[in-house]
């Protein structure tokens, strides 16, 4: 039984960490809750950093998970701007801060998130090369896009993933020239496959984004510390005043690895291995959010999910498991994006190779449709584009593993609920 003498430590102050702290108190935990984060800002949500906040449509204050006063009001001991650099599993302590403060834990939650992958090419140290993960990055990039828009300047984006495309949309709204370099033949290739990737390619073409598929950046050319151009492996030079490296993120699992916790192999996305209760290979240590690799029985695989909803739900689930509650974390992965006037939600998991066909319900040309990724008659994933309030039905369909009639699946007049037998 949990009692007031216990200390629960949360390492990482992103959405998963803040929501875990909230849940511990909401569930009546009366012991010490210590939240340590290496960022100086209070825990905040990242999706607006490449959308509303970047576009200047959302205020800085709107991104925070809680008001700053909330932490003291809920007796959460917050240590911001402090890095945890060691976990001693025998003594059950974590060490943090410049002075190497040691605190003992009864239960520990690792929600250390992910960090942007770096381009390993000449020129990445130039002042005009950017990444986007933190609020400070977004503040800087916002200024850059504004300036590029005013000066008719060029932004080269390495990577046509979610962040690359969202920033491309924002940059076009500021009026900047945008070139996207992507080694795969379509945007979002590893998530959506070629069929639906083309919907996003078309959308961005229509808004004036130039794509170069099938090539990689090899060098960022500069002069006096400033970016002048970006070179690709086909020998072409692309004019650039700034470059955004948006080539994915890597889990921040080094702390866990150094403590001897089990780490997933790269084929499963890396990250800290947890069971369905979000418990690591040490029974007193849990992990959630972007850094955790959890088993998802529905898809018969282990997954690491770098999405907002996984932090929002995973942090609280881990907190409940730490309190000894019976938890099975088996959420259908969910993601959303907004680009120009396109809004979409994606539920499920269907990377290329996992599905046989893509079935469209609605009008793909008008970008008002639902796409379903199907394998042997079962829906693995669904993406609703400018069609709303269908996520629950799509997720029910995925969960049901029902054998669906493909014609009915593609017919907007057949209610989705009717397909779940
Ligand atoms: C620009 C951007 C846009 C996004 N847009 C979307 C979207 O539209 N839809 C969507 O579903 N998802 C989106 N995401 C993904 C979503 O934001 C992440 O999945 C979510 O932030 C993960 O939360 P987390 O708490 O697991 O990790 P994080 O938010 O990464 O938080 C982890 C925190 O731990 C800190 N930390 C790490 N190691 C240590 C240590 N040793 N000591 C102390 N502190 C440490 C980190 O600095 C960080 O503050 C976006 C992400 C980004 C970057």
Q: Is 290 in the pocket of ligand 1 (CB under 6 A)?
A: yes
Q: Which fold has domain 129-247?
A: FAD/NAD(P)-binding domain (3.50.50)
Q: What pLDDT score does 267 carry?
A: 79
Atom of ligand 1 nearest to the CA of 288: 26
Taking residue 360's Cβ as centre, other Cβ atoms within 10 Å add up to 16
The boundaries of every CATH 3.30.390.30 domain in the chain are: 341-419
The boundaries of every CATH 3.50.50.60 domain in the chain are: 7-115+251-322, 129-247
Q: Give 7-115+251-322's CATH code, choosing from 3.40.640.10, 3.40.1710.10, 3.50.50.60, 3.60.15.10.
A: 3.50.50.60
Q: Is 336 in the pocket of ligand 1 (CB under 6 A)?
A: yes
| Close Cβ partners of 303 (under 8 Å, ≥ 6 residues apart) | 268, 269, 293, 294, 296, 333, 349
Instruction: Give percent above pLDDT 90 in the chain.
Output: 97
Atom of ligand 1 nearest to the CA of 334: 11
Q: Tell me the CA–centroid distance for residue 130 and ligand 1, in Å.
A: 17
Q: What is the mean pLDDT of residues 294-313?
A: 96
Q: What is the DSSP letter of 119?
A: P
Q: What is the mean pLDDT of residues 65-69?
A: 98
Q: What pLDDT score does 246 carry?
A: 98
Q: What pLDDT score does 26 carry?
A: 98
Dihedral sign for Cα 393, 395, 401, 405, please: positive
Q: Which fold has domain 341-419?
A: Enolase-like; domain 1 (3.30.390)
Query: What mean pLDDT, rounded, does the chain reach?
Result: 97
**With 60 as the cut, is the pLDDT of residue 343 above it?**
yes
Q: Tell me the CA–centroid distance for residue 402 and ligand 1, in Å.
A: 34
Residue 420: which pLDDT band, with cuts at 50, 70 and 90? Answer: confident
Residue 4: which pLDDT band, with cuts at 50, 70 and 90? Answer: confident
pLDDT digits (tens, 9 = 90+) for 201-258: 999 999 999 999 999 999 999 999 999 999 999 999 999 999 999 999 999 999 999 9
Burial of 352 (0-12, 13-18, 19+ CB in 10 A): middle
Atom of ligand 1 nearest to the CA of 306: 19
Q: What is the mean pLDDT of residues 342-356?
A: 95
Q: What is the mean pLDDT of residues 413-421?
A: 91
Compute the distance between CA of residue 336 and CA of residue 378 in angstroms, rounded to an integer: 22
pLDDT digits (tens, 9 = 90+) for 271-282: 999 999 999 999
Contact 108, 133 (CB under 8 A): no
Compute the distance between CA of residue 318 and CA of residue 107 in angstroms, rounded to an integer: 11
Helical residues (DSSP H) of 259-374, grouped into ranges: 308-322
Compute the distance between CA of residue 276 and CA of residue 326 in angstroms, rounded to an integer: 10
Q: What is the mean pLDDT of residues 114-141?
A: 97
């Amino acid at each position: 039984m949990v009692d007031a003498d216990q200390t629960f430590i949360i390492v990482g102050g992103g959405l998963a960490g803040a929501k875990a702290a909230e849940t511990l108190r909401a569930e009546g935990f009366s012991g010490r809750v210590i939240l340590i984060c290496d960022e100086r800002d209070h825990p905040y949500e990242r999706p607006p950093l490449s959308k509303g906040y970047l576009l200047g449509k959302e205020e800085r204050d709107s991104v925070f998970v809680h008001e700053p006063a909330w932490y003291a009001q809920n007796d959460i001991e917050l240590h911001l701007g402090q890095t945890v650099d060691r976990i001693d599993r025998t003594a059950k302590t974590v060490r943090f801060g410049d002075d190497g403060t040691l605190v003992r834990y009864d239960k520990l939650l690792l929600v250390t998130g992910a960090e942007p992958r770096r381009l390993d090419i000449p020129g990445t140290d130039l002042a005009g090369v950017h990444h986007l993960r933190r609020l400070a990055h977004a503040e800087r990039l916002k200024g850059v896009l504004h300036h590029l828009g005013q000066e008719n300047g060029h932004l080269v984006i390495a990577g046509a993933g979610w962040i690359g495309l969202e920033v491309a949309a924002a940059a076009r709204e500021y009026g900047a020239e945008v070139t996207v370099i992507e080694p795969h033949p379509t945007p979002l290739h590893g998530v959506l496959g070629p069929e639906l990737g083309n919907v996003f390619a078309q959308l961005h073409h229509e808004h004036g984004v130039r794509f170069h598929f099938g090539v990689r950046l090899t060098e960022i050319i500069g002069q006096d510390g400033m970016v002048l151009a970006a070179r690709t492996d086909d020998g072409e030079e692309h004019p650039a005043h700034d470059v955004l490296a948006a080539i994915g993120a890597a889990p921040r699992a080094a702390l866990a690895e150094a403590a001897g916790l089990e780490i997933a192999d790269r084929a499963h996305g890396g990250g800290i291995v947890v069971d369905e209760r979000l418990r690591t290979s040490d029974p007193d240590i849990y992990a959630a959010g972007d850094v955790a690799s959890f088993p998802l029985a529905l898809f018969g695989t282990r997954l690491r999910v770098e999405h907002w909803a996984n932090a929002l739900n995973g942090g609280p689930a881990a907190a409940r498991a730490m309190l000894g509650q019976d938890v099975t974390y088996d959420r259908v992965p969910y993601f959303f994006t907004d680009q120009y006037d396109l809004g979409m939600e994606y539920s499920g998991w269907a990377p290329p190779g996992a599905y046989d066909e893509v079935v469209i319900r609605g009008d793909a040309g008008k970008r008002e449709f639902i796409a379903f990724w199907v394998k042997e008659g079962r829906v693995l994933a669904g993406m609703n584009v400018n069609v709303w309030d269908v996520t629950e039905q799509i997720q029910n369909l995925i969960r049901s593993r029902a054998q669906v009639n493909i014609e009915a699946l593609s017919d907007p007049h057949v209610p989705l609920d009717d397909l779940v037998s």
